[in-house]
Structures are given as C-alpha cells and as structure tokens.
Structure 1
Amino acid sequence: MNEFTNTADHSTEAASVEPSLHEMLNEATEWLQYSRGVTATLSDLVHGADTVDCKQMSLSLDAIAAMTHAALHLVSEAHAQWHRARALQPRADFRTCRDEAAAR
C-alpha cells in the first residue's frame, strides 16, 4: 500500500501503522495538484512551441498518468479504510434522519 504514500513514517515502528483516512485523502489531493500543474505547464509549452518533441510529450503524459493513478489509488485505499472502519462501528451510529424521526 505504501507504493504511493509519502505520509507514513518509514521507521520500523511506524511501518506497521496504516496512514489515516485524512492523510491518504490529503496526499491524493497533492498528487492531483501536481498532475494539474504539470498538465498546465505542458499545455503552455505546447501552445508556445513551433514543433513538438513526441518522445518528450509521451514521457510527460506518462508522468501525468502516473500521478493521477497514484491519487486514484490513495482515494481507493481511503475509501476501503472508511468502509472497514464503518463495518466495525455499531449499526446504531449510522442511523439516518428518517430512522431518527421514526423513533420519535
């Protein structure tokens, strides 16, 4: 899971500690911001260029894809962690407004 995460301390004590939901979502946001920044920069370079180096363009697009993939992976992990935590909570904690109104 730490394939994409930078948030976890890589010491031996923290190696077994899973990053929090909040940390994973923050890091996913960072990856998406990096991806957006590289996309904007690449777009500006292409618009201002007379010619485009297809090999460099391909490498840049691969980098954008990798950053986006990292963000999606983190969001997926955070979503799974949220479901695991929710499954451990007593069902009463997840009552809906309709359930509460019916109980009155």
Structure 2
Amino acid sequence: MNNVFGEPWIIRHTNYFSDPRAEPDELLNDATEWLQYAYNAIKLLAELVHERGSIDAHRLPIMLDGIAAFIEMGTRCTTQAHLRLQWQQQSA
C-alpha cells in the first residue's frame, strides 16, 4: 500500500495522454487549463492559511503534491506543443 503523506505519489502516478492528432494550439490550451488549476489551488491554500493562521501539516504535502502535478501536466502539454511545432516546421 502506498503511503501518500510525505512522498510525491501524485507526481509519480500522473500521466498526460494527448490526442496524437492534437494541434499545438490545442495542447497550449490544455497547458493553460492545467496551470489555471495550479493557480486556483495555490490561491485556495493561501486563503486557508490566512483564515486559520496555521496549516494542517498532514494535508499540506498532499495539496502541494497536487499543485506540483498540475504544473507538471501543464509543462508536459507545453513540451508536446513545442515538439509538434518543430515537427510541423521540419515537415514543411
């Protein structure tokens, strides 16, 4: 059984599967969406800390791993978009 607390379980088990026919614009839209998820999660975390004045030490690593996963997914989308743009330029 996996112990989620204190380890980057989410990052190790997160994959981004894109449509092989997706255009770079579509991938960049996906990247924007993933980064918006990360942004909103960070804002929520900041609001919780501001309201309570402290954080739950058991839940913080899970939330931070989730935010890292959102950022990782956005990065993967951007990387794939960049590679597909380069591929299209090579083919042209």
**Shorter-chain TM-score category?**
0.7 to 0.9
2:90 to 57, 77, 87: 87
Q: Counterparts of 1:24-43 in structure 2 under 5 Å?
A: 24-43=27-46
Name which one, 1 or 2, has greater alpha-carbon Rg: 1
Query: Greater relative contact order: 1 or 2 (C-alpha under 8 angstroms, separation 6 or more)?
Result: 2
If the length of structure 1 is used for normalisation, what is the TM-score? 0.69
Equivalent AA in structure 1 for residue 30 of structure 2: E
If the length of structure 2 is used for normalisation, what is the TM-score? 0.77
Structure 2 CA distance, aligned partners of 1:50 and 1:87?
54
Structure 2 CA distance, aligned partners of 1:46 and 1:25?
32
Equivalent AA in structure 1 for residue 41 of structure 2: V
Counterpart in 2 of 1:22? 25
Q: How many residues align?
A: 78
Equivalent AA in structure 2 for residue 23 of structure 1: E
Equivalent AA in structure 2 for residue 33 of structure 1: Q
- Residues 45-101 of structure 1: CA distance to partner in whole angstroms, max 9, x if unpaired? 011114321121111110000000000010001000000100111xxxxxxxxxxxx
